[in-house]
A and B are shown apart, each in its own frame.
Chain A
Amino acid sequence: MKKRHIWLRVVVFCLWGGVLFAVVQEVLTPDWRYPKMDFGPEYMLREFETLDSKDDIQALFVGVSTSEFSIDPMRIYEDAGVATFNLSSPNQPINASSALLKLAFEKVKPKYVFYEVSTLFTGFDAAPYHWLFDSMTLASKAPLASAYAQNYPKEKRVDAFIDAYFPIYQYHERWKELSKVDFQILQEEKNLYRKGNYSGIKVEAATVTVDLMNEIADANYNNTLWKNEYIKGTLQTVIGESPGANGKRLLNTDVPERNIDTLLEMKTLCEENGAELILMKIPQINYPQYDSSWPRLCSDRVKAIAEECGIRYLDLLYDFDCAIDFGTDTNDGGTHLNYLGSIRITSFFTTYLQNILSCSPAYCEDYDEDLPIFDAVCRLEDLSTTLDLIPYLEELSGWEDVTVFFSASDDMMLNLSPESRQALNDFGLQTDFDTLSYNDSFLAIKENGQVVYEASSNQRLVYNGQMRNGIPYTVTSCGWRLGSESKIIINGSNYSQNSRGINIVVYDNVSGLVLDRVSFDTYAGNQRAERTVYTDLREYEEYLMRLDAENGIGV
């Protein structure tokens, strides 16, 4: 064979091998996020390329998931016309934040960079890096891979670098758990309409208060080691070392030197790129043994560091009143804020950017294009996070093209207030609730703003119907003594929460998605909405994006 042909063959073999390798690696690497909304840094950075000008983005947010959940750049843009982007990710290590910023500065020129300080206190953890670089292309992941490798001892750095660069090294064992989703590698373009914000709509109250967290933290910080011994029945207490001796405090507020160095590097990097680095702390509470707690001691430590380094620091838990209610505004018991909390925090930043940092509104085409989807999703988020019956019905009355199913179970009447009864009637229901007894059944179906069926009885109620789009449904209501049961079966699946009081299911007639399923315990005094299954926001987002892509003009 001619030499030329051999070389050609070798080159084609290697190229073809490279392509196959990329495909296999993509299949084996897990998608950390839901499909099409994978906003790993690769996509975030790619999003910057769609901007008209490098100066479009006026502020960047980096840090951990608390910041990712709480800061909504689209809302800032909608309210103030200031384009910002959230580059935060779960447990993002400080040197990963720094590496991300390096990458970001190549594409945008923000005036301000906000860094969420939680990870100032933490050491190395491999997983958060994988969240970041697993979805990145080989060309763009170099700074992150190198930052990742720096965490390892010298002899293991090559391995770590390979691990970072080729996810197959880490995930090849996933061959046994591959599913259909993993093979969807040729997806359409990702849509980052939220600009890095991750919205949570769960409402899970915190189990600790700010005061209690600080009380325990102080005790842990000042704790002296002790041991009680009963020797032949006599108690002998041995007091150990003083607090802080040998670094044995139960609460550690030390910041590793390496992290401070990285912070200073970030500051220099920002300065070199004409931006100001601002430290921030998003409110979060938990018991002090968890990383997600934020006692005042930690805050004070950061304040001291910030002062030493000459960096501005905004502690939104202790120094600014963002009116966060840890009973309703958190997604998971105080660690992350939910949609309601995010509105408050975002509002703070909107004001801060406008009034303190004097950011002026600037038109950004990319952001404007995404506003319709953003508004549509926010509308659903508003509905899914409404906690009281009357506002819920008011919110719901604005929705068209939906079918709302009502089904009572057990006793819906005992504490159904006159205002609530009126609200139900205002919603379009005709039943005179004053005449209903505690053990009566009640059901109603309102389709496209019109009540198509409504019934109340002292017997079990079952209604079979069909929506305009042909989807069949069966609604069942049984009051107390009749079985205390609620069923709302749409196309064969039961969506009712089957809880005491009023059970409501909201079905979107156009998308065919169940938008919300909620129950209000109108028997009890506290009639706050209960949701055991939360709205699948991602499914709705996907639907809207599909619709947007098909129409090409926004939703």
Chain B
Amino acid sequence: MSYISLVFLVFLVCLLAVYVLTPNKYKWVVLLVFSLIFYASNGLDKMAFVLSTSVVVYAASRRMQNIWREYDKLAKNRKYTPEEKKQVKQQYTAKSKRVLVLALLVSVGILCWCKVGIKAVGLFNSLTGNSLALKIIVPLGISYYTFSSVGYLVDIHWRAVEAEKNYAKLLLCMIYFPQVVEGPIPRYERLLPQFDKLTFPDYDRFCKGAQLALWGLFKKMVVADRLGIFVNAVFADVNAVGGSVFVIGLIFAEFQFYADFSGCMDIITGISDVLGVKLDKNFDRPFLSRTIPEFWRRWHMSLFNWLKDYIYMPLLTSHGLGKVRKKLRKHCSAEMAKKLMAIIPTACVFLIIGLWHNVGIMYVIHGLYWTVLFTLSSLFENKIPALSERLHIHTDSFGFRCFQSVRTFALVAVCNITVLTKSMGNMFTVCKSMLTSIRPWLLLDGTLYTYGLDRANCVLSVILVVFLLAVDIVQERCVIRDRIARCNIFVRWTVYFAGIFAVLIFGIYGPGYNAAAFIYQQF
């Protein structure tokens, strides 16, 4: 069931009808039932995976909680010397760790099997000459619920959160329907308490949530799917396209990814707002970023934060890297040693991001590209201001900020080549074409209109891209939704109807089209 399908609309109306009639205390049950229905609508066979993972996570979390409760009881009742206390804690940490590792092996194992199973069997077949056939079911949102449950288990192990007693509520956290398809990767400690305080209806919340969902729908159906037609056509046969068309294709692709992913986030955040559940922010106007690290703080924030908390920081503060850092300090400054040591966890984070998209050499390149950029950015972080000062560049001027944003945008666009071309050969063809055969006249002689979008649609696409950017710039200064809410009813309704009819008229849908699935759904 897609978020932009008619069936989903019917589903939502039914949910709201039941939701409004259910007492506040039991509203979470309604959410759980409808989340299960939503999940089951994508295939009953996939339910087994998510249910088994949830059982493992619940059992492990309860077991770890009990271990730590036992430890607390022991530490409270007996009088240990600090040395003994440390020893006992180590014992219990080891116990908890065993449970954690076991749970992680199961849940991450399922994820890995689903993600790389087919490729692994293919590789095995090619190496051994066997013809082993395998059908792997990829459960809906497996990456999202696995990552969130891993975070939850690690937090319990670290004693940052308490384990949830109610299995049903934990299951709801994992498969809460607005976030199960494309995230954001939830933090259960923020999500769980909200299920106990659900209220409905709330007029203001409803209006603002509906506005956000409409804006998301606009981004997905009007902007992303329109740009997608062009991007798919351009990168379908890279040998027949001129360099300048690739440039436009890359720019459109970047806006397509953004409009698609953030559009979905807005739809689900809006829906969840209506239901009274606040979801984590996943995008924060990334195209206004001035540096690469800032871009990653604004793009797919929930994934990046998760990786930072559960991969980057543990690795950076690990015993092994600490030893290496000490050795490095003998050869360079402490600051430099710290930055050099950050390369390994950074590489791990971006390799995971790359492989999270798909398994393959192109995604390894994707990860390495970001590692290099991120590291360079970090290494030269302090040099740039000094250099700018020497060159008399006002780093706070509007022009320089624009330059920085455009530079960041360009670096991100270049990285997208790896995702769009899907093979090394194609990637080199595109790069070569952009460097040696730019052919700018292709942008003016009508060639652009032969890639799925006619003249009117091309012009509209450019207008939409500018509009999207303008909205982000305005949003940086004020919350547009609040501004709209303060306007009089005539202006408000005009805005709402303009949004609705923009989707109806300019949306990409109808019998001639297949409404495209959300891009990030496949990850």
Using CB atoms and an 8 Å cutoff, list the residues of chain A in contact with chain B: 1, 6, 13, 16-17, 20-21, 24, 28, 126, 158-160, 162-163, 168-170, 172-173, 175-176
A-B contact pairs, 17 of them (CB 8 A): A1-B203, A13-B493, A16-B497, A17-B497, A158-B7, A160-B511, A162-B6, A163-B510, A163-B511, A168-B505, A169-B510, A170-B512, A172-B505, A172-B506, A173-B510, A176-B456, A176-B457
In the bound assembly, the distance between CA atoms of A163 and B509 in angstroms comes to 11
Q: Which of A13, A20, A158, A169 lies in contact with B511, CB distance below 8 A?
A: A169
Min CB distance, B176 to chain A, in Å?
Answer: 27
Query: B48 at the A/B interface (Cβ < 8 Å)?
Result: no
In terms of DSSP, what is the predominant structure of the interface of chain B? helix
Q: Which of B7, B457, B505 lies in contact with A28, CB distance below 8 A?
A: B505
Residues of B within 8 A of A17 (CB): 497, 500
In the bound assembly, the distance between CA atoms of A142 and B512 in angstroms comes to 22
In the bound assembly, the distance between CA atoms of A163 and B6 in angstroms comes to 12
Residues of A within 8 A of B183 (CB): none
Inter-chain contact B511/A24, CB cutoff 8 Å: no
Residues of B within 8 A of A163 (CB): 510-511
Residues of B within 8 A of A159 (CB): 6, 511
Min CB distance, B2 to chain A, in Å?
Answer: 13
5 nearest A-B residue pairs (beta carbon): A176-B456, A175-B505, A172-B505, A6-B203, A169-B510
Inter-chain contact A176/B454, CB cutoff 8 Å: yes
Give B500-523 as 1s and 0s: 1 = Cβ < 8 Å from A's Cβ atoms: 110011110111100000000000
Give B438-465 as 1s and 0s: 1 = Cβ < 8 Å from A's Cβ atoms: 0000000000000000101100000000
**A-contacting residues, B466-523, CB 8 Å:** 493, 496-497, 500-501, 504-507, 509-512
Residue of B nearest to A176 (CB): B456
Inter-chain contact A20/B510, CB cutoff 8 Å: no
In the bound assembly, the distance between CA atoms of A6 and B203 in angstroms comes to 8
Residue of A nearest to B506 (CB): A175
Min CB distance, B455 to chain A, in Å?
Answer: 8
Min CB distance, B473 to chain A, in Å?
Answer: 27
Interface size on B, residues (CB 8 A): 19
Residues of A within 8 A of B509 (CB): 169, 172
Q: Which of B454, B456, B501 lies in contact with A20, CB distance below 8 A?
A: B501
In the bound assembly, the distance between CA atoms of A243 and B203 in angstroms comes to 72
In the bound assembly, the distance between CA atoms of A168 and B502 in angstroms comes to 12
Number of A-B contacts (CB under 8 A): 46
Residue of A nearest to B513 (CB): A173
A168 with B497, Cβ < 8 A, contacts A6-B203, A158-B6, A163-B511 known: no
In the bound assembly, the distance between CA atoms of A162 and B6 in angstroms comes to 10
Q: Which of B454, B500, B507, B511 lies in contact with A170, CB distance below 8 A?
A: B511
Residues of B within 8 A of A176 (CB): 454, 456-457
Q: Which of B6, B7, B504 lies in contact with A24, CB distance below 8 A?
A: B504
Residue of B nearest to A174 (CB): B505
B457, B497, B500, B504 pick with most chain A CB within 10 angstroms = B504
Question: Could you list 18 further interchain pairs (A-B, Cβ under 8 angstroms) beyond the known A16-B497, A170-B512?
Answer: A6-B203, A13-B493, A17-B497, A24-B505, A28-B505, A158-B6, A159-B511, A160-B511, A163-B510, A163-B511, A168-B504, A170-B510, A170-B511, A172-B505, A172-B506, A172-B509, A172-B510, A173-B512
Residues of B within 8 A of A175 (CB): 505-506
Residues of A within 8 A of B505 (CB): 24, 28, 168, 172, 175
Min CB distance, B358 to chain A, in Å?
Answer: 29
In the bound assembly, the distance between CA atoms of A28 and B510 in angstroms comes to 14
Residues of A within 8 A of B493 (CB): 13, 16
Min CB distance, B503 to chain A, in Å?
Answer: 9
Residues of B within 8 A of A162 (CB): 6
Residues of B within 8 A of A172 (CB): 504-507, 509-510
In the bound assembly, the distance between CA atoms of A279 and B456 in angstroms comes to 48
In the bound assembly, the distance between CA atoms of A490 and B454 in angstroms comes to 40
Residue of A nearest to B493 (CB): A13
In the bound assembly, the distance between CA atoms of A517 and B457 in angstroms comes to 42
Min CB distance, A115 to chain B, in Å?
Answer: 28
In the bound assembly, the distance between CA atoms of A175 and B510 in angstroms comes to 14
Min CB distance, B209 to chain A, in Å?
Answer: 14
Residue of B nearest to A178 (CB): B505
Give B61-72 as 1s and 0s: 1 = Cβ < 8 Å from A's Cβ atoms: 000000000000
**A-contacting residues, B321-364, CB 8 Å:** none
**A-contacting residues, B1-29, CB 8 Å:** 6-7
Residue of A nearest to B511 (CB): A163
In the bound assembly, the distance between CA atoms of A238 and B149 in angstroms comes to 69
Residues of B within 8 A of A169 (CB): 509-511
In the bound assembly, the distance between CA atoms of A169 and B509 in angstroms comes to 7
Min CB distance, A64 to chain B, in Å?
Answer: 23
In the bound assembly, the distance between CA atoms of A160 and B507 in angstroms comes to 18
Residues of B within 8 A of A6 (CB): 203
Inter-chain contact A24/B501, CB cutoff 8 Å: yes
In the bound assembly, the distance between CA atoms of A160 and B7 in angstroms comes to 14
In the bound assembly, the distance between CA atoms of A175 and B457 in angstroms comes to 10
In the bound assembly, the distance between CA atoms of A515 and B294 in angstroms comes to 74
Residue of A nearest to B10 (CB): A158
Min CB distance, A33 to chain B, in Å?
Answer: 22
Residue of B nearest to A25 (CB): B504
Residues of B within 8 A of A170 (CB): 510-512
In the bound assembly, the distance between CA atoms of A172 and B505 in angstroms comes to 5
Min CB distance, B368 to chain A, in Å?
Answer: 42
Residues of A within 8 A of B504 (CB): 21, 24, 168, 172
In the bound assembly, the distance between CA atoms of A158 and B1 in angstroms comes to 14
Residues of A within 8 A of B500 (CB): 17
Residues of A within 8 A of B497 (CB): 16-17, 20
Residues of A within 8 A of B506 (CB): 172, 175
In the bound assembly, the distance between CA atoms of A17 and B503 in angstroms comes to 14
Residues of B within 8 A of A168 (CB): 504-505
Min CB distance, A120 to chain B, in Å?
Answer: 26
Residues of A within 8 A of B496 (CB): 13
A1, A17, A126, A163 pick with most chain B CB within 10 angstroms = A17
B457, B505, B507 pick with most chain A CB within 10 angstroms = B505
Min CB distance, B16 to chain A, in Å?
Answer: 13
Min CB distance, A182 to chain B, in Å?
Answer: 13
Residue of B nearest to A27 (CB): B505
In the bound assembly, the distance between CA atoms of A168 and B457 in angstroms comes to 18
B6, B497, B510, B512 pick with most chain A CB within 10 angstroms = B510
Min CB distance, B435 to chain A, in Å?
Answer: 35
